[in-house]
């Protein structure tokens, strides 16, 4: 969008109806409002400049001005007690201090390029490196890099993107929304948004779900031609946008909205009750979290524990690796935020690709998605993994039931090597606390060989990362502008892999969790339960609804749905089995 990267028409769904635009369900809910188109204008820049000292000074001064703006934004959001959004602008300040990014720009200026041209090239290169990473935290950083890059470019050139004044009840449409756009969304005015880029697991979708705003990603390109002020209906659950609706049609939608709001209130009222099917089968519903504040918030939404703690947050935004003591304190604090005895599943550091961490230099890779990532980095740099294992063991008596899982396991050798490191540290520290060990199932080989993995002694569980599992099973990058819309975890191939894992684990008396985006998808919940999933780990706002979905079915209904789902041909057929029975 804008200066960094070219727009591409996504190969998503198409409707033959001029008044119906299809995309991908990115965040559930209905929004009725008037369109505001958000455009990130291209900024014209000259390629060459005479005086490279002067250009470097211009760039430094633009970066300083951007840093002042960002720290003011961060303070304002902190005063509004919005720590999560404030952190976005904290991250932007860190990006502007990143020596790799600054060196890229400096070397281009030294070769005679103008400051704006050099900066734009540096941002583009750096963002592409990050976007290739499959770790959701770091790939999200690519959007931040482009975003803060644009801010500096505006400072350098004096060309500002116009931010329109938002009317009440508006629906934003854009090629892409930057993290700044989403962090500054006025929740009292914005009732939904749609982007032509991205898919169900893109950065924008993750933000929309955390803000609880209906959103559609990968929508047909003609959405960008809808005039400002037109009234539209956005359905984030179905992934569609309707234009030119009659008053009576809109009234029907408002009825649906009211019913949804009533149901949401009913779900919230029962959020602290367990999720038990009509015939008495209990499913654990837990939260995906990225920090201590999330752990506390999850408890207020009825979470029965944590099924995925993304431990990267302990490692990001610092010049040196966190010590064992620092890490143990953070893990123990997360554990203490939970109710005693609840599970806390910690995923070990999941980084890779091109130098995301200054103290963990990794060579740049042609294809980081298939390169050194996750546990592969841990096995190559075992001191980082060993320290993390010791820290987790040290937090084992903080009240929660601790589990550790290794990301990106592809072979039995990977698993045995990682498990050996954990066992050695357990023996060396003499840790008495009980910590169970498992595998993040995101590489298809683990699902295909589930029986062999399930038979391994000391492998207690799998947790399915459906975002990556879907990408690897379909050989599609979920950030790819033309393919993102097709990366749907309800693909029967992916469901079959999940079923295979559930069957194998249950034969050995072990359990299966799902922590990918599909666990928060109300349509997918009964199918996952029917496939044999024991634990659903969701985004925090989704917890009450996911629990309610489990209660709406019998286990037998779920199994029948799952049997039919794995025999379907397409994700659309799978979703049609469940229908939109949320109305």
Instruction: State the DSSP H helix or E strand holding residue 451, giving kind and residue range, or none if neither.
Output: helix 450-454
DSSP H/E element including 438:
strand 435-441
403 carries an active-site annotation? no
DSSP state, 113? B
Distance CA 514, CA 536 (A): 5
Token pair, residue 20, equals 């119906």
CA distance 459 to 304: 22
| Secondary structure of 265-281 as H, E, C letters | HHHHHCCCCCEECCCCC
Q: By C-alpha distance, which of 443, 523, 516 is closest to 205?
A: 516
Rounded Cα distance between 180 and 174, Å, is: 13
User: Residue 37: which H helix or E strand, with range?
Assistant: strand 30-37
Give the E-state strand segments of 297-415 in sequence order: 306-310, 343-347, 401-406
Pick the catalytic residue: 52, 92, 203, 403?
A: 203
Among candidate residues 389, 515, 538, 558, the one labeled active-site is: 515
Beta bridge partners of 171: 35, 192
Nearest to 397 by CA among 315, 478, 340: 340
Query: Which single residue is written with the structure tokens 């029967």?
Result: 492
| Integer Cα distance of 11 and 199 in angstroms | 11
CB 114 within 8 A of CB 48: yes
SS3 25: strand
Partnered with residue 214 across adjacent β-strands are none
The question of whether 490 is a catalytic residue gets the answer no
Q: Are 35 and 173 in contact (CB under 8 A)?
A: yes
The structure tokens 């399930």 sit at 454
- The upper half-sphere exposure of residue 92, i.e. CA atoms within 13 Å in the direction of its Cβ, equals 29
Of 322, 309, 408, 311, nearest in space to 358 by CA = 322
| Nearest C-alpha neighbor of 537 from the set 286, 359, 362, 339 | 286
Element (H, E) at 245: none
What positions carry a catalytic annotation?
203, 515
């Amino acid at each position: 969008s804008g200066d960094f990267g070219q727009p591409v028409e996504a190969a998503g769904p198409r409707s033959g109806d001029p008044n119906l635009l299809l995309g991908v369900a990115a965040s559930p809910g209905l929004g009725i409002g008037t369109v505001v188109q958000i455009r990130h204008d291209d900024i014209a820049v000259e390629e060459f400049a005479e005086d490279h000292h002067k250009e470097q000074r211009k760039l430094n001064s633009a970066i300083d001005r951007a840093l002042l703006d960002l720290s003011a934004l961060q303070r304002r959001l902190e005063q509004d007690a919005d720590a999560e959004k404030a952190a976005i602008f904290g991250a932007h300040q860190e990006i502007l201090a990143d020596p790799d990014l600054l060196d890229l720009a400096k070397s281009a200026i030294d070769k005679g390029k103008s400051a704006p041209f050099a900066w734009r090239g540096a941002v583009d290169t750096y963002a592409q490196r990050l976007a290739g990473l499959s770790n959701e935290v770091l790939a999200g950083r690519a959007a931040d890099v482009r975003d803060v890059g644009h801010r500096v470019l505006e400072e350098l050139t004096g060309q500002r993107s116009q931010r329109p004044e938002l009317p009440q009840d508006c629906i934003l449409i854009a090629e892409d929304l930057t993290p700044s756009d989403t962090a500054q969304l006025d929740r009292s005015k914005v009732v939904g948004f749609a982007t032509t880029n991205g898919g169900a697991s893109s950065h924008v979708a993750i933000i929309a779900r955390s803000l609880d705003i209906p959103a559609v990603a990968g929508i047909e390109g003609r959405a960008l031609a809808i005039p400002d002020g037109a009234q539209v209906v956005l359905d984030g659950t179905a992934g569609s946008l309707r234009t030119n609706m009659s008053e009576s049609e809109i009234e029907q939608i408002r009825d649906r909205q009211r019913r949804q709001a009533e149901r949401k209130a009913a779900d919230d009222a029962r959020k602290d009750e367990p999720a038990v099917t009509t015939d008495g089968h209990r499913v654990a519903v837990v939260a995906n979290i990225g920090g201590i504040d999330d752990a506390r918030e999850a408890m207020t939404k009825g979470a029965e524990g944590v099924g995925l703690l993304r431990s990267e947050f302990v490692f990001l935004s610092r010049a040196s690796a966190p010590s064992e003591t620092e890490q143990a304190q953070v893990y123990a604090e997360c554990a203490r935020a939970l109710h005693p005895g609840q599970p806390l599943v910690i995923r070990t550091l999941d980084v890779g690709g091109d130098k995301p961490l200054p103290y963990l230099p990794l060579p740049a890779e042609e294809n980081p998605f298939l390169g050194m990532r996750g546990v592969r980095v841990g096995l190559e740099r075992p001191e980082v993994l060993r320290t993390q294992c010791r820290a987790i063991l040290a937090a084992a008596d903080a009240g929660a039931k601790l589990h550790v899982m290794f990301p990106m396991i592809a072979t039995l050798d990977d698993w045995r090597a990682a498990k050996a490191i954990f066992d050695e540290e357990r023996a060396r520290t003499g840790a008495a606390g009980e910590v169970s060990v498992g595998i993040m199932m995101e590489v298809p080989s683990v699902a295909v060989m589930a029986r062999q993995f399930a038979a391994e002694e000391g492998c207690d569980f799998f947790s399915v990362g459906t975002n990556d599992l879907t990408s690897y099973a379909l050989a599609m990058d979920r950030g790819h502008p033309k393919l993102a819309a097709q990366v749907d975890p309800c693909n029967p191939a992916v469901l079959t892999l999940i079923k295979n894992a559930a069957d194998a684990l249950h034969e050995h008396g072990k359990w299966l969790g799902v922590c990918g985006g599909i666990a928060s998808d109300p349509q997918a919940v009964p199918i996952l339960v029917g496939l044999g999933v024991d634990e659903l780990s969701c985004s925090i706002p989704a917890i009450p609804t996911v629990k309610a979905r489990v209660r709406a079915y019998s286990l037998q209904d779920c199994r029948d749905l799952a049997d039919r789902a794995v025999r379907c041909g397409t994700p659309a057929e799978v979703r049609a089995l469940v229908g939109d029975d949320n109305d």
